[in-house]
Amino acid sequence: MDLKKIVLIPDSFKGTMSSGEVCSIMEKCIRRYYPKAEVVSIPVADGGEGSVDSFLAAVGGEILRMPCRGPYMEEIEGFYGIIDGGKTAVIEMAACAGLPLVRERLNPGKTTTYGVGELLADASKKGCKKIIMGLGGSATNDFGAGAAASAGVRFFDKDGKSFIPVGETLSKIAKINKSGICEELRRAQIITMCDIDNPLYGENGAAYVFGPQKGADPKMAEYLDGQLRAVSETVKKELGIDVSNLKGAGAAGGMGAGMAAFFGSSLQMGLEVVLDTVGFDRLAQNADLIFTGEGKLDYQSLRGKVVTGVARRAKKLNIPVIAVAGQVDDNIESAYDEGVSAIFSIMRSALPFDEVKHRCKADLNIAMDNIMRTIRLF
């Protein structure tokens, strides 16, 4: 098979390789067999870790760093990106409320998004008229109430006492006052990138689906789900906004719903925002093959993450797509209907993640080498 142009557009393999590192390994393997082919690398992230870097790589800009609060209100250094000549900010909530920041202290009932609101407020006060907020990789389940509190929203319990809600105390909210949000943030256009379309609560909601990876056992997941149901009703009563059936409301522990309720943000599939920004359709024109991938390909991937998002675009352009993943779960056959042509796992041994992560780069190299050897047969 003669390949003249190949596009690489993987997500990061979370906890092991950045999307840029994946692209680099893929390209080296491809050039062993097709040294003259045009290889277009587009490292992407769909709202979680790496989103800021993806935008900066695509359109240029700078990273601004500032002190803020982490998942347990500890002092950390946060960051966000500035693009479009200072008019637009790109924030990834994982920068100050992400899973890597809590390490072994997993507890979505107690973690907060407080620092995210600090980044939002800072960006607006620095003159950003548009803010792109990436949701993904969160350690929280607080409905984004922490972010709202740091940005100026006040929450009161039934006794009129002001407090900062976390995942386990959302049902205590009795009154909400948004008047404290600064004018700059009120006027800013905020687009929230969601990497999934899960609802706020229920069996497909934030607590039941994503709670376990944040440390919630079945009992805690049930409790947190009830907290999200309660705050949904309070928001409907206090603010006149119904987020119960909003697609993407369950992203980042319910922060999708909170961004809409507290900040008037629109929710968009994260990858679509990224693909439009990097000009994917233009870059992929006349490509013979597209490689994509992510750390784990499962049913969540089929709800709009990088692999299926890329495949849907590629299908319209009639370009075959090969997905390479760290792990491939059962029941992902519908990915083929979305436009994926073939799926490969890089895992070579059934080992615990703590062992696999140290050999993932070598395993990706071997898997890509075998794929390219197979393509050369035809």
pLDDT at 351 over 70: no
Binned at pLDDT 50, 70 and 90, residue 196 comes out as confident
The pLDDT mean for the chain works out to 92
How far apart are alpha carbons 241 and 243 in whole angstroms?
A: 6
pLDDT at 339 over 70: yes
Q: Which residue has the higher pLDDT, 371 or 326?
A: 371
pLDDT of residue 302: 67
pLDDT at 217 over 90: yes
pLDDT of residue 301: 67
pLDDT of residue 303: 63
Q: 0.85 exceeded by the pTM?
A: no
pLDDT at 299 over 90: no
pLDDT at 233 over 80: yes
pLDDT of residue 46: 64
pLDDT at 297 over 90: no
Strands in 208-367 per DSSP E: 266-269, 289-297, 321-328, 342-345
- Separation in Å, CA 269 to CA 144, 274, 275: 18, 9, 10
User: Average pLDDT for residues 175-189, to the nearest whole number?
Assistant: 97
Rounded to 5, what percent of the chain is helix, strand, coil? 40, 20, 35
Which secondary-structure segment (H or E) carries 364?
Answer: helix 360-375
pLDDT of residue 260: 97
Residue pair 338/302 in contact (Cβ under 8 Å)? The answer is: yes
Domains of the chain and CATH, by start: 5-43+288-375 (3.40.50.10350), 51-271 (3.90.1510.10)
User: Average pLDDT for residues 229-234, to the nearest whole number?
Assistant: 98
Residues 24-72 have pLDDT tens digits of: 999 999 999 999 999 999 888 766 777 888 788 777 899 999 999 999 9
